[in-house]
Structure 1
Amino acid sequence: MTRERNFVYPKEVDTFAFDWGRLALTVAPEVNGASRFSGGVVDLQKGHARHNHPGAEEIIFVISGTGEQMVEDEEGNPVVRKVGPGCTVYVPESRFHSTTNTGDGPMQLFVVYSPAGPELALRELPDFRLVPPAA
């Protein structure tokens, strides 16, 4: 069965699994030919450590759950805000950030990277596991 490349469900693609949660890339060069950005659904169990994406911007949209989002300001000072469903977070190019799940259940996010590619560095993390799509 051939899947239409413009309409993708998270269960149809490989999932990047980590101790902190999962990322299913639904928009990426290898998924549907997107070249200027990539993105996907994150299921966040606990939270992920402070990190950055050199040369890339990120958008984080909170679908469900509650948490605390940190994004460093221009001087490198951490700015932390409570976030919940409907909140959009903009992470400027190369800026350090982290997300902590403060709710009782998983937190679900949709993330977008521009340009495409910084998510591929996640494959180098020690707790990375590739989970194929469900049969």
Structure 2
Amino acid sequence: MNETFFVYPETVDRFAFDWGHLSITCGPKVTGAGTFSAGVVHVPPGEGHARHNHPGSEEIIYVLEGEGEQMVEDMQGNPVTETVRAGCTIFVPESRFHSTLNTGDRPMKLFVVYSPAGPEEVLRELPDFRLVPPPHG
């Protein structure tokens, strides 16, 4: 694989779901990154992804635009929910369940990082997964 240093979300495959979409902009298959992956998530108003976890991986979620409710389980497995908006960084410890719901009137745009890489590939197994290739111009 060639080294790739600069990637825009519109130049890579889009992982589309009923609740929104994810564009992996950094990771083993896109840039050759070896220890983490990252991407941009879009969640339309009123939508959100269900409670899930990433076994063996930590996640960072940074809210770029919009606002919503973010849930992350604590060490005892209790849900901790907070209203988040642009500028908030959310840390999801390894294997913890979490969910995001856009409660605003405009799309939420998130930047996510997984360490180690891999959780993004498991998303391909979800029943509502659709791969949307980048537009060719």
TM range (shorter): over 0.9
1:4 deviation in Å? 7.1
One-letter amino acid of the counterpart of residue 93, structure 2? P
3-state SS in 2 of match to 1:31: coil
In the TM superposition, what whole-angstrom CA distance separates every residue of 1:53-91 from its partner, at most 9, and x where no partner exists?
000000000000000000000000000000000000000
2:64–2:86 Cα contact (<8 Å) kept = yes
Q: Structure 2: which 5+ residue stretches go unaligned?
A: none
Q: 1:52 maps to what in 2?
A: 53
3-state SS in 2 of match to 1:89: strand
Number of residue-to-residue matches in the alignment:
133
Q: 1:11 maps to what in 2?
A: 10
TM-score by length of 1: 0.96
1:26-45 matches, within 5 Å, as: 26-45=25-44
Distance 1:56 1:32 in 2: 19
Q: Structure 1: which 5+ residue stretches go unaligned?
A: none
- Aligned-residue sequence identity (percent) comes to 69
TM-score by length of 2: 0.95
Pairwise CA RMSD: 1.1
3-state SS in 2 of match to 1:119: helix
One-letter amino acid of the counterpart of residue 16, structure 1? F
1:5 deviation in Å? 1.1
- Runs of 4+ deviating beyond 3 Å: none
